[in-house]
Structure 1
Amino acid sequence: MDLLEYMRSQNDMTQAEWERTFEEEAKEILVLLAGGSGAGKMNGFWDVSHYFIAYVDCQTGALHTGDGRIVYPVSDEESDAGGILDRFRREAVYRLKARKRIPHKIPEGVTASSQNQFLIVEVLEEDAPCPALEEVLAEYRRPVVLNDEELGELSLDKDLDMFEGGISWRGEDIDISLEVDSSSEDTWTAAVAAMKQMMTDQDRWDRDMRAFAARELTQLACEWRESADEEVPEITEESFAQRIELTSIAMDPDGSFSAYFDDDDMFFGHCVVVYGTLADGVASAVMAG
């Protein structure tokens, strides 16, 4: 089963089918929440997730570190009422009775945290004391900074799995983000190397990204121009390529990148995003935002 088929099969589950993917017996755990939250529309209900970075099995006392999720279903009515992501606080320890996800085969591209899930049966305690998890939290809060001679200072946002910083690109300051696995320093090294490779040939990349975006989006920009309330200059591929302004680049360890350009109001304040890889060049360009 490929990734798309897998995602469709998950989203097609009813609530009863989804709950059967968890063990029948509930266990008591202490869980440290960090890394955000989210909700996905399923077949007749919403799957709400809050991310954790460690938990303790209360029966054995064993500490388990690694990304995971506590999950629970909510109805469409509850979702429409709002606030479904406000039930739990980040960087807090909760004592829960919960059912562990039954291990199953997943295709490449599915995050490990999707396997490491607990379905909440009952919330037993908030701000539960747990020295082991308090140590994990202290380490999680410790700032992680990379200093590179070319890229400068890069700070790790552990919730987003992303190093953030800024560079000079053809004489102008832009933001950069390196999307990594916080727990794998190999991905840090690879993302830094990929960004530096792009910087080495920045004149060519800048030219190629602008030219590709102009070819793909000039006609759309002309259509938007026709709906403007005031008279605006004619847009050609040449002027489009000159007017857009690079503001940031997001780089993956494998050399995939997203480059974000200011649209100079050609799309009334939306942005232009160019996608590609260092190996194969620019692949697509869209208006977004």
Structure 2
Amino acid sequence: MSKTREKSQFESRFKEQVMEVIAVTGASGISAGRAGGNQMWNASIPLIAWKALGSNEPSIKEELRLEWLVDDEEWEKTRDLLGMNSIARLQVRKAEKSMMLVSVIEKDYRDDELEIILQESLKPVFYNDDVLGIFELNKGIKVFEKDISWAGEEGYLYFDWNEDRTVMHSALKTAYELFKEQDKWNRKIRGYAAEELVELANEWLEDNEEAEMNKITKEIFVGLMKLSSISVYPDGDFDLFFDDGDMFWGHSIIVTGNINGEFSSAEIAG
């Protein structure tokens, strides 16, 4: 698809009217994605509140994405166009759940009403669980996290923030099961990863001219894995991330399963 057509399709999502607004950016910075076959990047940054400039209407607290379309050269120039956790004066075109950036008028703008919202958003958010303790919200990715010790190793435990606390508690029930029988789960998870990936590890070993071993057995594979983090989800699903001990040259090993004892995948990433 041509750049002109991509731009036309992108802009058709937004109203024609150009508005001047003041907006509060969220806790994560600018990112960009590009669909397969497209030439342009869809750059964006989250907004948590905004108001029309010159209007007597109160500010609106809602989560939107501020978006703009750029080619490779423009993307490099706009990576630092706006900062996270800041207030900016902008020209935009609005859609229902997003805004299209027309121009940045002032990158750092002062507005007392929106400053209150910004300062409130910067306060830490905690989740206190009776079993596992206190988690802190990583606002950039909306994930609660805490340091843990699991099966004799240090790592992190994560679960997704959700407006519905019952959903979060369901995710934590997955963690309860993993922690209740840590050694059993540790053996099962590592054993599954070794079964699925040891052949691939030996293929990588053949390409490593500096390797100090001739073959990676399942026992060696299990011993080289080092816990990095555990992510838990409702309905018993979990992902465990391990450092690979350089078997895959620094990639992560990810094991996905369920507390019913079924595993769906073991793969490398990163």
**TM norm structure 2:** 0.86
Distance, in Å, in 2 between the alignment partners of 1:163 and 1:44 is 36
| SS of 2:205 mapped into structure 1 | helix
Where does residue 173 of structure 2 map in the other structure? 193
Is 51-60 or 25-34 further displaced after alignment? 51-60
Number of equivalent positions? 264
Distance 1:189 1:65, change over 3 A: farther
Contact 2:240/2:254, CA 8 A, preserved across alignment? yes
Distance 1:131 1:156, change over 3 A: same
Where does residue 41 of structure 1 map in the other structure? 34
Residue by residue over 1:21-66, the C-alpha shift from the partner in whole angstroms, topping out at 9 and shown as x without a partner, is: 1011122222100132211225332211011111123435232223
Write out aligned runs for 1:56-135 (5 A): 56-58=51-53, 59=55, 61-79=57-75, 82-101=76-95, 103=96, 116-135=97-116
Where does residue 213 of structure 1 map in the other structure? 193
State the 1:88 CA deviation: 0.5
Distance 1:272 1:133, change over 3 A: same
Distance, in Å, in 2 between the alignment partners of 1:46 and 1:180 is 28
**TM norm structure 1:** 0.81
Distance 1:66 1:279, change over 3 A: farther
> Which of 145, 162, 166 matches 1:164?
145
State the 1:214 CA deviation: 1.0
Contact 1:144/1:156, CA 8 A, preserved across alignment? yes
Distance 1:281 1:63, change over 3 A: farther
Where does residue 111 of structure 1 map in the other structure? none
Is 238-247 or 153-162 further displaced after alignment? 238-247
Distance, in Å, in 2 between the alignment partners of 1:271 and 1:25 is 47
> Which of 198, 203, 212 matches 1:231?
212
> Which of 27, 40, 44 matches 2:19?
27
The one-letter code sitting in structure 2 at the alignment partner of 1:39 is A
Unaligned 5+ segments in structure 2 are: none
> Which of 152, 157, 172 matches 2:133?
152
Write out aligned runs for 1:253-268 (5 A): 253-268=234-249
Identity among equivalent positions (%) equals 33
Unaligned 5+ segments in structure 1 are: 1-12, 104-115
Distance, in Å, in 2 between the alignment partners of 1:93 and 1:16 is 29
Name the Cα RMSD after superposition.
2.6
Contact 1:40/1:46, CA 8 A, preserved across alignment? yes
Residue by residue over 1:223-265, the C-alpha shift from the partner in whole angstroms, topping out at 9 and shown as x without a partner, is: 1222232431532223323432222112234543221112222
Is 131-140 or 238-247 further displaced after alignment? 238-247
The one-letter code sitting in structure 2 at the alignment partner of 1:249 is I
